Amino acid sequence: RATARAALRRDVLVVPPPGSRTSPTDAFLDAVHPRVAVIQVGYRSRYGHPAPDVVARYAARGIPVVRSDHCGAWRWDGGSAQCTRTLRRRYWQWRGAREPLTPARVGPVPDP
């Protein structure tokens, strides 16, 4: 059982489907134990994704969340998630109210 659980652990978890209320379960998060969660969602999603309780579920576990509607393109680089939109900001790009001006990295992400 420990071997199976270790096989599930991942550094990056792409949240399935994009932050709907039913995903993921607490048991799944405990098994995968991601270092960062990525939510791929459109800007101003008419479906209300990601659901606030889903984002809170990650926050309660101390898992940083990268959102494509805030971050744009991103990359995993040596233990940290980097947002292209923040690294290469243009004057015409929208900045979300909760998006910090700095730093450009979500990490370093703590080891599990």
Assigned domain for 49 exists: yes
Task: Read off the pLDDT of residues 40-50 as tens digits, 9 standing for 90 and up.
Answer: 887 777 766 78
pLDDT higher than threshold 70 for residue 25 = yes
pLDDT higher than threshold 60 for residue 3 = yes
Verdict on whether the full-model pTM lies above 0.75: no
- For the chain, the maximum distance between any two Cα atoms, rounded to a whole number of angstroms, is 52
Assigned domain for 83 exists: yes
Give strand pairing partners of 14. 38
Domain that includes residue 39, residue range:
2-87
Assigned domain for 29 exists: yes
Q: pLDDT over 90 for what percent of the chain?
A: 0
- Report the alpha-carbon distance of residue 105 to residue 107 in Å, rounded: 5
Assigned domain for 112 exists: no
- Report the alpha-carbon distance of residue 38 to residue 17 in Å, rounded: 11
State how many domains the chain has: 1
Average pLDDT estimate for 33-60? 81
